[in-house]
A and B are shown apart, each in its own frame.
Chain A
Amino acid sequence: MIAVRPGEVYREAVSAALADGWSFAGLHATRGAVRTLLSRPNGEVRLESVDAATSSVPTIVDLAPAAGWDEREAHDLHGVGFAGHEPLRPLADHDVELLRFATPVHGVDPYQVAVGPIHAGVIESGHFRFHVVGDLILHVDARLFYKHRGLERAAEGLRLAGGLPVIARACAGCWVTNAVAYAQACEEALGLEQTTELARVRTILLELERVWNALNDIGAVCAGVGLAAGTSRFAALVDDARSLNARLTGHRFLFGSVAVGGSPLELPEAAILDARETLARIRAESSRAWHALLFNASFMNRMPDVGIVDAEAARTLGVVGPAARAAGVPEDLRTSSPRLAYDGFEPATLRRPVGDVQARLEQRALELLPTLDILDALLERPVAPTSADQGSSAKEVGVGRVESPRGATSCIVERDGDRIGRVRLRTGSYANWPAVAHAAAGNLLPDFPLINKSFELCYACVDR
């Protein structure tokens, strides 16, 4: 049983942990309690739970600003109040007046530009309310959850293995990440232990997902400034990478390739050869395409000093993934993932980690190379179906943590026997959305697409 503390004791425990080198990694409401997930750089995690049976629990948003969205979500979707979180603006609840979700902005000549939920292109649904003076952005209120499908609720009551396709469905871009995080959480709860072969298979899939995402994200920045040559070149590479995924697993986004308690994936010798050849070609072609971008002065000159999230802001807001590393916060869950095959992994670091659009773009390009190296090393022999070992004792709650293409993703599974009691998925995109708003303030409105694309966050895996 996880100890459920009274309000003040919980707040003090979180405060002491944060002072002692722990970081906030997520918060969710569950049956009669609110739980805060804390993590340490060595990969250690722990849960601090507070009794939520009474009307409200004390907020921790003043101690960990990264908890802002989590507390607003817990309020809107689970009816928990957070004493001291003022104003507790609606996040998932859209049935409110504008003044309740938008920040009041006063001064000389400010006005609002409302964009979305439907956008002018092939873009996910979400609403941005820009507070501007002329072209200058003073503040952005991002309102997401238009795509909220209630996937976590839909998974409750399902058998643990059957919950995987529901939770992983949160997002096609991070399907493998979400599936592996969920599978790890279930396996921890069931007392199953990873084998080295299972770690190898899952790491191959995670890095295959990272390959097409990196190519996609670089192309997205080109699209953000309307550079057709770069957009097309990287789109062709994305298509190549997804076609390889389909040849290897039968699905372009690798759906169905991850399971709880084992792996169904089979890659015979011919598939391994195909993968190695295709990835070598992607390495050569993406490198040429990247160099063409680097020496395109009119493209590169758009990037510096736009949309800055510096190291201090990144730490305060709890930014994760390439966006954090581009700001000089070298945190990457791949350095502390004993359940995956990342032995000796070191995060790639930029010479100029200043957290602007250029740094985020360069970080993506830089990280593609170690990903291809990892795949090269792991695709050394065929892959056969495999299963986890029956090992340690079972637990009530399991936690899975995986570095997605957009940063740390956590999945918490609370089980009722062999069924799901409660499941929470907190993705890299979820952690980073507040940083997009922070990065946009003080920039020009026409630069917002570029700033937004430099993060290239999913809406789907935030809204779930």
Chain B
Amino acid sequence: MLTLLRDLTKLRRSLGLPPAGRPGSLALRHVDCGSCNGCEHELTLVSGPTVDLARFGIGIVASPRHADVLLVTGPVTTRMHGPLLRAYAAMPEPRRVVALGDCALGCDVLGSEAELVGPVEDVLPVDLRIPGCPPTPQQIAEALRLLLDARRPLPSRSW
């Protein structure tokens, strides 16, 4: 069996085909900045049995210290502004920010201006926007896979 797999890998390389699997992984830290809980409900299903994003090495982690990506939902309320900045500051570099859902993008029904500082791009540099109200688990999964594919190699050290 192992020999067969090794032969297949050699064949793929000799024919110049791209690697079968996606390289790398993404550790996501979710921060809710005032969503209606719709994005959270759908994001939960992204880890569920029908989409199962863990197959691609993409998963939710319990601390910003372990995260590559900050996944932000909601229109960024004044009361979540500080916690959001602190979570971002706690992340190792390189780091990416994803704005998930229409509220995070500053679209549609948001609330009173006095209670909001958002959208997310006014607060943090956003690398990926996932529109939808809320985006479906499939849409979230597709977008995150794009982020994984588009991930550039780390800059090499030149000293």
Q: Which residues of B contact A121 (CB under 8 A)?
A: 30, 60, 62
Q: Is the CB of A235 within 8 A of B44?
A: yes
Q: Which residues of B contact A149 (CB under 8 A)?
A: 34, 75, 77, 110-112, 115-116
Q: Is the CB of B133 within 8 A of A171?
A: no
Partner of B36, one of A118, A150, A169: A169
B9 within 8 A of A: no
Q: Which of B13-21, B45-53, B146-154 touches A? A: B45-53
In the bound complex, how far is the Cα of B28 from the Cα of A120, in angstroms?
11
A145 within 8 A of B: yes
Q: Is the CB of A236 within 8 A of B109?
A: no
Q: Is the CB of B77 within 8 A of A147?
A: yes
B2 within 8 A of A: no
Q: Which residues of A contact B50 (CB under 8 A)?
A: 235-236, 239
In the bound complex, how far is the Cα of B34 from the Cα of A124, in angstroms?
8
Min Cβ gap A243→B in Å is: 9
In the bound complex, how far is the Cα of B80 from the Cα of A124, in angstroms?
11
Closest to B114 in A: A150
In the bound complex, how far is the Cα of B101 from the Cα of A460, in angstroms?
15
Q: Which residues of B contact A151 (CB under 8 A)?
A: 109, 111-112
B136 within 8 A of A: yes
In the bound complex, how far is the Cα of B34 from the Cα of A148, in angstroms?
7
In the bound complex, how far is the Cα of B111 from the Cα of A253, in angstroms?
20
> Majority SS of interface residues in chain A?
loop
Closest to B38 in A: A172
Q: Which residues of B contact A253 (CB under 8 A)?
A: 38, 41, 134
Q: A122-B44, A235-B44, A255-B133 are in contact. Are A146 and B35 (CB under 8 A)?
A: no
B137 within 8 A of A: yes
Q: Is the CB of B41 within 8 A of A235?
A: no
Q: A216-B41, A253-B41, A460-B37 are in contact. Are A148 and B115 (CB under 8 A)?
A: yes
Q: Is the CB of A239 within 8 A of B45?
A: yes
In the bound complex, how far is the Cα of B114 from the Cα of A154, in angstroms?
10
Min Cβ gap B72→A in Å is: 11
B95 within 8 A of A: no
In the bound complex, how far is the Cα of B110 from the Cα of A165, in angstroms?
10
Q: Is the CB of B77 within 8 A of A148?
A: yes
Q: Which residues of B contact A146 (CB under 8 A)?
A: 34, 77, 79-80, 83
Q: Is the CB of B32 within 8 A of A124?
A: yes
A374 within 8 A of B: no
In the bound complex, how far is the Cα of B133 from the Cα of A165, in angstroms?
12
Interface centre among B36, B74, B79, B136 (most CB of A within 10 A): B36
B42 within 8 A of A: yes
Q: A147-B32, A172-B38 are in contact. Are A125 and B83 (CB under 8 A)?
A: yes
Q: Which residues of A contact B87 (CB under 8 A)?
A: 118
Residues of A in contact, count (CB < 8 Å): 41
Min Cβ gap A315→B in Å is: 28
Q: Which residues of A contact B83 (CB under 8 A)?
A: 117-118, 125, 146
A276 within 8 A of B: no
Q: Which residues of B contact A166 (CB under 8 A)?
A: 109
Q: Which residues of A contact B60 (CB under 8 A)?
A: 121-122
Residues of B in contact, count (CB < 8 Å): 40
In the bound complex, how far is the Cα of B51 from the Cα of A236, in angstroms?
10
A130 within 8 A of B: no
Min Cβ gap A126→B in Å is: 9
Partner of B112, one of A153, A165, A459: A153
In the bound complex, how far is the Cα of B118 from the Cα of A150, in angstroms?
14
Q: Which residues of A contact B30 (CB under 8 A)?
A: 121-123
Partner of A124, one of B40, B47, B75: B40
In the bound complex, how far is the Cα of B115 from the Cα of A253, in angstroms?
25
B43 within 8 A of A: yes
Q: Is the CB of B41 within 8 A of A125?
A: no
Min Cβ gap B136→A in Å is: 7
In the bound complex, how far is the Cα of B45 from the Cα of A121, in angstroms?
13
Q: Which residues of A contact B134 (CB under 8 A)?
A: 172, 252-253
Q: Provide the A205-243 mask, 1 if CB < 8 A to any CB of B, else 0.
A: 000000000001000000000000000110110110000
Q: A145-B79, A148-B77, A236-B50 are in contact. Are A122 and B112 (CB under 8 A)?
A: no
Q: Provide the B52-79 mask, 1 if CB < 8 A to any CB of A, else 0.
A: 0000000010110000000000110101
Q: Is the CB of B44 within 8 A of A148?
A: no
Q: Provide the A158-186 mask, 1 if CB < 8 A to any CB of B, else 0.
A: 00000001100111110100000000000
Q: Is the CB of A172 within 8 A of B112?
A: no
A416-464 at interface with B (beta carbon < 8 Å) = 458-461, 463
Min Cβ gap A282→B in Å is: 14
Closest to B45 in A: A239
In the bound complex, how far is the Cα of B113 from the Cα of A149, in angstroms?
8
In the bound complex, how far is the Cα of B46 from the Cα of A235, in angstroms?
10
A352 within 8 A of B: no
Q: Which residues of B contact A120 (CB under 8 A)?
A: 62-63
B144 within 8 A of A: no
Min Cβ gap B44→A in Å is: 5
Q: Is the CB of B33 within 8 A of A172?
A: no
30 contacts between A and B (CB under 8 A): A117-B83, A120-B63, A122-B30, A123-B40, A124-B35, A125-B33, A148-B77, A149-B34, A149-B75, A149-B112, A150-B111, A150-B112, A150-B115, A151-B112, A153-B112, A153-B114, A154-B110, A154-B111, A166-B109, A171-B36, A172-B41, A216-B41, A235-B44, A235-B45, A236-B50, A239-B45, A239-B50, A252-B42, A252-B136, A461-B37
